[in-house]
Structure 1
Amino acid sequence: MAEPANCPRCGKLFMKGPQTVCEACRRKEEDDFQTVYKFIRQRENRTATVEEISVATEVEEWQIRRFVKEKRLHPANFPSLSYECERCGALIQEGRMCESCNAELNQGIQQHDRDKALDSRKQQHEKDMNKKSMTYYSVDKYKK
């Protein structure tokens, strides 16, 4: 359901639904996209970096990087386009994090799983030890 919100770009009040900006800013974004796309579609500009595209088209770098992140511009077709890793800020062309951050995250998850398994085994061992300590044995002193 739509709810009133202020546009994050211009501050104007609008009804927020699937769109996160007001209609005027959405049109401006679409015009910026068309400008960038026309520029990089030309053969000599296909390998242009985000900075070069920004200078040539006067579209902000963050906006171009957002187009790449939203997959409106594909790095497969334009190999110099990239955006920032959400964790460390390194430039990447797909996903949300760079390879090193992904590896670090996976390593952390694996360590957590190992710790959890170790805690489980430790708890089971303590239960077993408690059961053994509750066992009583009788000794017959007179039996030879």
Structure 2
Amino acid sequence: MSHTSDSKNERAWLKYSHHKRSNRSLELGEQAINLLIKKGSPITLTTIAEQSKKIDTEGKGIHPNTIRTNEQLYEYYKQHSKTYKQKNRKSNTLNSSVTLEDIKFHKIKPNRNLKNLERKYMKLSKKEIVERLILAEQYIAENNTKWVANYFEAFK
């Protein structure tokens, strides 16, 4: 196929090449997902990419980002992936209306296990950590004003 074109905007050879590669990715991805389902393996972007390299006659396989950018393949992935559904469900169930009363700052012990606390915070999203930090600062500010008021009352 010739790579020359009458118009700069019309590149039929490029569209043909893109369509051919997109179809190849779709076929490889679907085959990889179907094999993973048969094996009972988790269906993640990484496992699909690894499986596609094993079944590809060229040995290239597909990249995890190719799965995301190929709309048809990404929809097929979302239908069959449990990890995608879990991640999606978790983000939908977040309760963004957490208040000072929900988090018991007054019950926090100074001698708690900091490794466990770090592990707990690493599981939170950035938004959840920011909300918690704002609530902690509000709690500190409120208690500082109470402490100052009590201190001046005791001083009199």
Query: Which TM-score applies when normalising by structure 1?
Result: 0.38
More strand by proportion, 1 or 2?
1
| Higher RCO (C-alpha 8 Å, min separation 6) | 2
Structure in which a larger fraction of residues adopt helix: 2
TM-score (norm 2): 0.36
Say which one has the larger Rg.
Answer: 1
